[in-house]
Amino acid sequence: MKRLMIASLLGGTFLLSSLAFAEKGCSGPGKPGEFFKELELNSEQKEILREMRDDRMEMLKRMRQLHEKREALNEMLSDYSVSEDAIREAAGEIGKEMQGFGEKRLENMFKLRRTLNRDQFLKVIEKLEERKRDHFGRGPEKWGEKFDANNRCAGGVD
C-alpha cells in the first residue's frame, strides 16, 4: 500500500489508469458474448468473469471519484507550506479507499485458474491483456462508464 501511495503521488494518472484497466476483458466492438465464445468457457467460468467485471466497474467508479482527491493531493505536494505528515495522511486516505479491490481480483483469478487448464487460462489472460491494450489511455473522466464512443466496454466482459 505504501508503494501505491508513493506511486500515486509521483506517477499521476498513469498508475491509476494502469490499475484501472488491468486485465480488461469485454467483448468490445461486436456482439455481446463474443468474448465467451472465443474462449469456450463454461457457465461457472463465465460467472467468475462477470463477477470480475462487476468488481472492476465498482473500482473504476471509485477511482473516478478519487481522482479529484489525488489532484488535490498533488496540489498539496507542490505547496511547500503543507507539511509532509499532512500529505502522507491525505495519501493514506486515498489508499484506504482503494484497499480490497486487488485482493478480490486475485481470488477471482485463482477461481478461474482452478477451473481451466493451463492453455485455457493463458488464453483468457491473453484476451484480457488484449482488451486492456485496446482500452488503455482513456482519461479518468471516463473511468466507470460502461461504454465509450466506440462501444467498447470499460469494465469487463459482457
pLDDT mean values, one per 10 residues, the chain (158 residues): 43 37 41 66 86 83 79 86 90 77 78 87 82 60 49 44
Could you give the CA distance from residue 78 to residue 95 in angstroms, rounded to a whole number? 20
Contact call for residues 76 and 90 (beta carbons, < 8 A): yes
Alpha-carbon distance of 21 to 8, in angstroms, equals: 15
Q: Please identify which residue in the block is written with the cell numbers 462477470.
A: 50
Whole-number pLDDT of residue 136: 53
* Entry pTM: 0.47
Q: What is the pLDDT of residue 85?
A: 92
Residue 19 contacts residue 108 (beta carbons within 8 Å): no
Residue with cell 467483448: 27
